[in-house]
Structure 1
Amino acid sequence: MLFRSLRAAVTATASIVAVGGVMAIMGAASPAKADEGMWTYDNFPIQTVNQRYGTRIDQAWLDRVRNASVRIQGCSASFVSEQGLILTNWHCVVGCSQELSTPEQDFVKNGFMAATREEERRCPGQTAEVLTEIVDVTDRVLGAGQGLEGAAFNAARSAEINRIQTEACAGDEKFNCQVISFYRGGKYALYKFRKYDDVRIVFAPENQAAFFGGDPDNFNFPRYALDAAFLRAYENGQPVNVGTNFLRWNPNAPAEGDVTFVSGNPGSTSRLLTMSQLERLRDQQLPITLIQASELRGRLLEYSLTGDEAKRVSFDPIFGLENSFKVFYGQQGALTDPAFMATKREAENELRARVAADPALVQQIGDPWGDLERVQTVARDLYLPFRQLEQSAGGGSQLYAYARAIVRASKNPNRTDAQRAQMATAIGAETPIYTDMEEIRLRYWLSKTREYLTVDHPSVKTLLGRESPEALAERLIAGTKLADPAFRTQALSMTTEELIAADPLFAFVAANDADAQAIGARWAAEVNAPTSRAAEKVAQARFAVYGTNQYPDATFSLRLSYGQVQGWTYRGVTVPAFTNMGGAYERATGSEPFNLAQAFIDNESRVNKETVFDFVSTNDIIGGNSGSPVINAAGEVIGTAFDGNIHSLGGSFGYDGELNRTVSVSTAAVTEALRNIYPSPRLLQELGVDRPQRRRR
């Protein structure tokens, strides 16, 4: 599940790196080959694709696809009707389904279907964004940090980036303006998005239909998962009319060899990291992440067995953790593979040798690889306190996150009116809070912080005082009023002193925030700033040696990849490109996680079992691409990407066209489901599908 990979990357790698993979792959320093690349829309290799696949892609085609592509929270999506209907994955909306559920009405277990527009329900905190403009701002950003180091460098860069964003959006809340770094700081671009903040759920199948096979099938193929869902964007209480900016629905499955395009927002890749960065990721960051994720998963699994309600509210967090753990395990496998690391080292040595042979280039960039090696020494010392006190503080507790955001806002008098309004909207949103889960997460974080930093660490003494992690977590969660949106909204107008007096969780955060911000500031000045400077120089070296026809690392910004429908062969076993809906019935055992969804059981006689269910293609994707439309050469949507195969876990570090595969659910299967499993004439009509699907011969 690619969305879960993105969530893990954000949690575990906010310092300098992201996630990785499981196999030997080509080095990332050389120009892209085969179907490799998550290309930006302003640098897509149109001619290469047309020559390779005989297509007729042009700028108008790219513009149509870009205007129909949608970024939602943590995922990708696309408009598929004039009335703002959005196609994405089930696992991208399962959080919404859970937040709208109650003990009496479980939309995760039983699915959600709005029979009318009036029944479409708003997803708390969900947004839909469409990229409207790309502007190169590299000179402005790089110039802002000229001659500065450390905290001054960070401050100058941040100030200039904020100015660019503020100028571009001009206070219009309908837009989101974001300056994005590419090529690890070699280029900066302003991305301007049209934003819709009223997004409602229209359809999501039962969890057992969407995630049939569960964790054992995750990152594997064959798959029999209906991992698809529909949302709708609203504005002023009415569905958004997107005009012609939507992808036409093709209800027919592709054929082997058909060209495919995936337009989405890959979250984060690490293909341009240097060896010293990869080695610290392997030796320190990933092992700690794996150990802690494993323990938290165990605590949540144990809690889920205590009752039906515990199982319901812990489903989504466990789902995410299990996916993340598998991803991180695969990453560690790659970085401990001697052949993989030898390939990466060879690529780096080649680039460094070519730089060394050019005295003018050496004069320009110096030795950024040596600079990054020195940064890793500092990062190793700072990482544990930075992780425990700042980066992962609270252990995922939503109440702690609210408290810290409000306390920090009270100390910042320089917030703009727009920032205040945006925060008030986020803080005041109606979001279910599950007290038991909150206490588990806070207790886990406090105990791990004591374990990793030791009892005698000054910050640990400040955190715990004379209480145990268990007693402190219980007291704070039982005593806080932050589960009440009205109280949170009221708290935004309080001073820090008033907050401390108003709630024990505010008092706890305020007492410990100085240490957290201090280690965060050190990390920013001593790790992030010199890393940015050195990475810019490595990027300059790549441009000088290999030219500008390269794709950058993923940054959860809109990209387009190309490929074709194709299976693969590994260790003598050939995996076909397709599964059909009948295969789900054959694979079912009746026991979790291979028990069929009830709607599949009830409607078996109606289902065309020859319908292509899921398919694989050679498209280059990563976490964040979940929900991305899979598009044919005519610009029609033929599927939605929801996963990668086990080999694609190496996608964070590189791409292997022989083995890496994108896994998608076909529009043919979604059409069949909407016709015969979850009958929805309304949606079929909106999608332009009002005739029975032709059987595939």
Structure 2
Amino acid sequence: MKIFKTLFILVSFPLFAQQGGMWIPSLLEGMNVTEMTNLGMKMTAKDIYDVNNASLKDAIPHFNGGCTSEVISPNGLLLTNHHCGYGQIQSHSTLEHDYLENGFWAKNMKDELPNPGTTATFIIKIEDVTSKILANVDQSLSEAEKQKKIEENMAEVVKNSPKETWQENRVRTFYEGNQYMLFVVETYKDVRLVGAPPSSIGKFGSDTDNWVWPRHTGDFSMFRIYADKNNRPAEYSEENVPYKPKHYLPISLDGVAEDDFTLVFGFPGTTDEYLPSVAIEQVINTINPARIAIRDAALAIQDKYMRADPQIKIQYASKYARIANYWKKWRGETLGLKKSDAAGIKKRQENKLTSEINKKGKQQEYANILPQFEKFYSEIEPYALAREYFLETVLRNVELLRTAYQTYQLKQIFENRGEQSFNDRRDNLLASLENQYKDFNKQVDSEVFEALIALYAKNVPQQFLPNSFKNLNAESTASNIYENSAFVKYNSVKNLLTGNAEEVISKLEKDPGFILVKEMADSYFEKVDPKYDELNTNISALQRNYMKALLELSPKDARIFPNANSTLRVTYGKVNGYSPADAVYYEPVTHLEGVMEKYVPGDYEFDVPKKLIELYNTKDYGPYGENGKMPVNFIGTNHTTGGNSGSPAIDANGNLIGLNFDRVWEGTMSDYYYDPALSRNIMVDIRYVLFIVDKYADAKNLINEMTLVHPKKDKRKIKK
């Protein structure tokens, strides 16, 4: 495996002439540091990642397993996006105390609000364990046997690698199974809400502006990590104290300018940068259109009700935002893949790889990979389409179906594991459903159900549909289920699930909602899932060998970074504008003037709080404005994806200058293909965050916790 380790470190432009990159922070020495230095960075690799001394990594926790956050004070004050904390803000909101509408600010620590289940996870150490994981994984083994041995080795490494009792070992795969890394982590479980601007600031522009530049959104919220008296992770307790970090980020007041160095540090979710061209064509022509059509229908219905009823708006705010986020992303992604000719570029890259395979005499190992990709992607397409419809309809967009499916799983658990496992899962399900039903609206869900079940019956390949769907009437089906199923109310679901396993199952099998889900799930798991898994396993094995070929046959200076997999990564670039179309150029920084230009009184996306208007009119920006203007957002060339939400944007000296929260519409295809001309990440200027906290919210108690600096001027700490 030494050949791979060398390539990982050296990494610039290979057979795949890709720029960007999401780099493992423990492997920055070499090409990465040289490139970052050339871009203007003043730090060393050890300033970014160090096991033995405090470094930037110690200020960057994974927020609740999905976003990134950063510690910005010696008292565990945590900064992340408003949309990352949206669920927590919503959970504390009522009609009487609507923190989504009005914001929330704790003026002292006693007012900070606990959030059961919310976590902040720090990376303590990263170690390459490839040789241990691949030990005795012989090429003569079948794919299933290989995976079984790998899983056994991973379990052994997790169990026997050294850690403290309050820490956890995790092994993650990189380069499609060609490298494995061990992560030692600490997860803090007492994370309290400290501050959030109103949605008219934190979500300004809402879905219209999502994935769009120019942007004018104050997308931030603040939390605090609490620990036990030994500064170790602990469940919520009034006895807990603010966490004392190994490192926290100083905050620069100097702002940004074109070509300034930017480093984004965080936990990007998933990317597929090395998919073959045939896979990209399938995303463009089949998978994304199906996803978009389903969410088009669901969102239109939810939006109609949210605009008409303030209570429904609160109930559905978080759900709508979650569904809309990737709906819009998929639309932009498809446009970007077409505009950049990603499939065509990948075909040309594949031709170069084929030439290199022939030149190096590697036909026996690699020549069959690309033809096999063509074969397997052609075979998997109808199964992949049916799978997307099942996931989007049953598990993601219709709440009644999702709940009924969870009870379908209960039945499976009883049949496979017995009564005790059934009881444990049933009790956990009832506990989670009680909170979920507070935000359930029968009328809204019924209308979404009717629209989506009609699409399901029409667009899922006929051979995969249940027999009852062949002549389905969506309207009458919806009417029957939402009038007669127990799944429309929490109390009736609770009654439905009361009793021993056989009694519960007997009741479930008479419920029309359960009957429908059972028909859909049985058909899916009989006709779709097994074949999809078989083909996907073959594709994954091919992808691993394809990646191996790239690593082996690319030049030594090849720029081959691992796909994102929700592990800690570094991505670096510069503050830069861009030109998305002929005669169009976007500046890299927006200002408060742009907020006022978009202002629509009373509009749920573009309303502006009265106090913010007053601050704008008086130009009362304090030390946070620049040349009489208040910067709001800026863009850079950092290669980011979902999971980077909340990631700190860090300057050349290691100071916080912004907060990553989005990408531009034209560059959302960067999960599959990074185009340096179009791909830009969007960040909140940290000065706008400070301005809102200080001048708008008058939460000077929070400002006083932070360390504010002027690195471009005199590196002196600013007086508060």
1:594 match? 606
Give deviations 1:402-449, integer Å, cap 9, x for gaps. Answer: 4355445445549999xx799949964844441335445544443333
Point out the more displaced range, 472-481 or 381-390.
472-481
Residues 65 and 688 of structure 1: CA distance in aligned 2, closer, same or farther (over 3 Å): closer
**1:39 is matched with which residue: 23, 26, 36?**
23
1:638 match? 657
Counterpart Cα distance in 2 of 1:517 and 1:472: 25
Point out the more displaced range, 61-70 or 233-242.
233-242
**1:653 is aligned to 2:672:** yes
Point out the more displaced range, 437-446 or 48-57.
437-446
1:403 match? 407
Point out the more displaced range, 441-450 or 117-126.
441-450
Residues 152 and 564 of structure 1: CA distance in aligned 2, closer, same or farther (over 3 Å): same
How far apart are 1:549 and its partner, in Å? 5.3
**1:585 is matched with which residue: 571, 589, 596?**
596
2:46 match? 59
Counterpart Cα distance in 1 of 2:526 and 2:448: 24
Counterpart Cα distance in 1 of 2:201 and 2:477: 39
**Aligned partners of 1:169 and 1:175 also within 8 Å:** no
What aligned pairs does 1:101-112 form with structure 2 within 5 A after superposition? 101-112=93-104
1:5 match? none
Residues 628 and 496 of structure 1: CA distance in aligned 2, closer, same or farther (over 3 Å): farther
2:625 match? none
How far apart are 1:256 and its partner, in Å? 3.2
1:529 match? 537
Residues 161 and 508 of structure 1: CA distance in aligned 2, closer, same or farther (over 3 Å): farther
Question: Mind listing any 5+ residue stretches in structure 1 that lack a counterpart?
Answer: 1-25
Residues 171 and 245 of structure 1: CA distance in aligned 2, closer, same or farther (over 3 Å): closer
How far apart are 1:225 and its partner, in Å? 1.4
2:624 match? none
**Aligned partners of 1:27 and 1:344 also within 8 Å:** no
**Aligned partners of 2:329 and 2:665 also within 8 Å:** no
Residues 203 and 433 of structure 1: CA distance in aligned 2, closer, same or farther (over 3 Å): same
1:385 match? 386
**1:471 is aligned to 2:474:** no
**1:673 is matched with which residue: 692, 706, 709?**
692
2:59 match? 68
**1:434 is aligned to 2:440:** yes
**1:195 is aligned to 2:218:** no
**1:560 is aligned to 2:566:** no
How far apart are 1:146 and its partner, in Å? 4.9
How far apart are 1:282 and its partner, in Å? 1.9
1:10 match? none
**1:345 is aligned to 2:347:** yes
3-state secondary structure, aligned to 1:551: coil
**Aligned partners of 1:68 and 1:247 also within 8 Å:** yes
How far apart are 1:629 and its partner, in Å? 0.4
**Aligned partners of 1:110 and 1:205 also within 8 Å:** yes
**1:629 is aligned to 2:629:** no
**1:215 is aligned to 2:207:** yes
2:705 match? 686
Letter in 1 for 2:214: P
How far apart are 1:216 and its partner, in Å? 3.5
3-state secondary structure, aligned to 1:303: helix
1:542 match? 550
Letter in 2 for 1:122: P
Give deviations 1:316-362, integer Å, cap 9, x for gaps. Answer: 33333433232212222234448443222111211122112222x33
**2:454 is matched with which residue: 441, 447, 452?**
447
Residues 690 and 262 of structure 1: CA distance in aligned 2, closer, same or farther (over 3 Å): closer
**Aligned partners of 2:68 and 2:80 also within 8 Å:** yes
How far apart are 1:630 and its partner, in Å? 0.6
1:115 match? 107
1:9 match? none
**Aligned partners of 1:455 and 1:461 also within 8 Å:** no
Counterpart Cα distance in 2 of 1:572 and 1:122: 51
Point out the more displaced range, 614-623 or 391-400.
391-400
Residues 309 and 517 of structure 1: CA distance in aligned 2, closer, same or farther (over 3 Å): same
TM-score scaled to structure 2, two decimals? 0.81
- The CA RMSD measured in Å over matched residues stands at 3.9
1:256 match? 258
**1:232 is aligned to 2:239:** no
How far apart are 1:113 and its partner, in Å? 1.7
**Aligned partners of 2:43 and 2:653 also within 8 Å:** no
2:73 match? 81
3-state secondary structure, aligned to 1:614: strand
**Aligned partners of 2:393 and 2:456 also within 8 Å:** no
TM-score scaled to structure 1, two decimals? 0.84
**Aligned partners of 2:380 and 2:532 also within 8 Å:** no
3-state secondary structure, aligned to 2:315: helix
Letter in 2 for 1:434: F
Letter in 1 for 2:663: G
Counterpart Cα distance in 2 of 1:495 and 1:422: 9
Give deviations 1:555-591, integer Å, cap 9, x for gaps. Answer: 2221111112222345334432222334433443436
How far apart are 1:138 and its partner, in Å? 3.6
3-state secondary structure, aligned to 1:527: helix
**1:356 is aligned to 2:358:** yes
Give deviations 1:505-556, integer Å, cap 9, x for gaps. Answer: 6676566644444456414532221111101110111111224752112222
Q: How many residues align?
A: 663
**2:635 is matched with which residue: 616, 637, 640?**
616
**Aligned partners of 1:76 and 1:88 also within 8 Å:** yes
**Aligned partners of 1:613 and 1:665 also within 8 Å:** yes
3-state secondary structure, aligned to 2:187: strand
**Identical positions, percent:** 21
Counterpart Cα distance in 2 of 1:202 and 1:688: 18
**Aligned partners of 1:327 and 1:649 also within 8 Å:** yes
How far apart are 1:150 and its partner, in Å? 6.7
Residues 212 and 521 of structure 1: CA distance in aligned 2, closer, same or farther (over 3 Å): closer
**Aligned partners of 1:402 and 1:427 also within 8 Å:** no
1:607 match? 620
Letter in 2 for 1:70: P
2:174 match? 182
**Aligned partners of 1:407 and 1:496 also within 8 Å:** no
Residues 277 and 38 of structure 1: CA distance in aligned 2, closer, same or farther (over 3 Å): same
How far apart are 1:661 and its partner, in Å? 1.9
